[in-house]
C-alpha cells in the first residue's frame, strides 16, 4: 500500500528506502490492519524526519557507515519535497481516523482514496477506530492515538516543539 502511495503521489523516495522506513517504523509492532499500518507509518516517519532534520538516519543493512537516505540529505529540495508529502498525508490519515471515529465511513473512505489514489480497493467496512492499531509483541497494546501522544511527548521532551 505504501508503494502505491509513493507511485500515486510521485513521492521521490527510492523503493528500498521506503521499505527501510517501514521496517524502522514497525520493527517493534505487529500491524493489525491496513488503515492502522498506513496511519502509523506516516506518524512514525513524520516524527523521524522531524527528529533528524539535517542528517541521514536510515542505516544500510550491511553497515559500513552508509545510509540509505544519504541521497535525500544531499539534495535539500528533494528532502523538502519528501517531508512535505509525508506531513500532508499524515494529516490526511489523521482526518480519516477522525471520520472513522465519528462513524462517517463514507468520508473516511474518500480521505483514504485521497491518500492511496481513487482506484484503491476499499473493503465494505473499514476497521473500527477503537481497534488496536499497533500491538507490541507483549501487552500492553498501543493504539494509534496513544502512538501519536507518545511521539508528541518525545518531541516536546526534546525541545523540538
- Report the C-alpha gap between 38 and 41 in whole angstroms: 5
Q: Model's pTM, two decimal places?
A: 0.72
**Is residue 140 reached through a cis peptide bond, with omega within 30 degrees of 0 on the bond before it?**
yes
% of the chain exceeding 90 in pLDDT = 52
Does the pLDDT value for residue 126 go beyond 70? no
- Report the C-alpha gap between 148 and 142 in whole angstroms: 10
* Contact present, 14 and 74 (Cβ < 8 Å): no
* Contact present, 44 and 151 (Cβ < 8 Å): yes
- Residue 72's closest CA among 106, 36, 21? 21
Mean pLDDT to the nearest integer, 63-82 = 93
pLDDT digits (tens, 9 = 90+) for 36-61: 888 889 999 999 999 999 999 999 98
Domains of the chain, residue spans: 2-157
Amino acid at each position: 500500500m505504501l508503494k502505491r502511495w509513493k507511485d500515486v503521489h510521485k513521492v521521490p523516495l527510492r523503493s528500498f528506502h521506503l521499505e527501510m522506513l517501514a521496517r524502522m517504523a514497525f520493527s517493534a509492532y505487529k500491524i493489525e490492519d491496513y488503515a492502522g499500518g498506513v496511519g502509523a507509518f506516516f506518524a512514525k516517519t513524520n516524527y523521524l524526519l522531524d527528529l533528524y532534520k539535517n542528517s541521514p538516519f536510515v542505516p544500510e543493512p550491511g553497515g559500513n557507515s552508509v545510509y540509505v537516505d544519504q541521497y535525500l540529505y544531499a539534495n535539500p529540495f528533494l528532502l523538502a519535497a519528501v517531508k512535505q508529502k509525508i506531513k500532508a498525508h499524515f494529516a490526511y490519515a489523521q482526518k480519516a481516523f477522525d471520520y472513522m471515529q465519528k462513524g462517517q465511513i463514507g468520508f473516511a473512505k474518500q480521505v483514504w482514496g485521497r491518500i492511496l489514489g481513487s482506484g484503491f480497493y476499499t473493503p465494505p467496512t473499514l476497521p473500527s477506530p477503537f481497534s488496536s492499531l499497533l500491538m507490541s509483541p507483549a501487552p500492553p497494546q498501543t493504539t494509534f492515538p496513544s502512538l501519536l501522544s507518545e511521539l508528541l511527548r518525545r518531541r516536546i521532551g526534546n525541545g523540538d516543539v
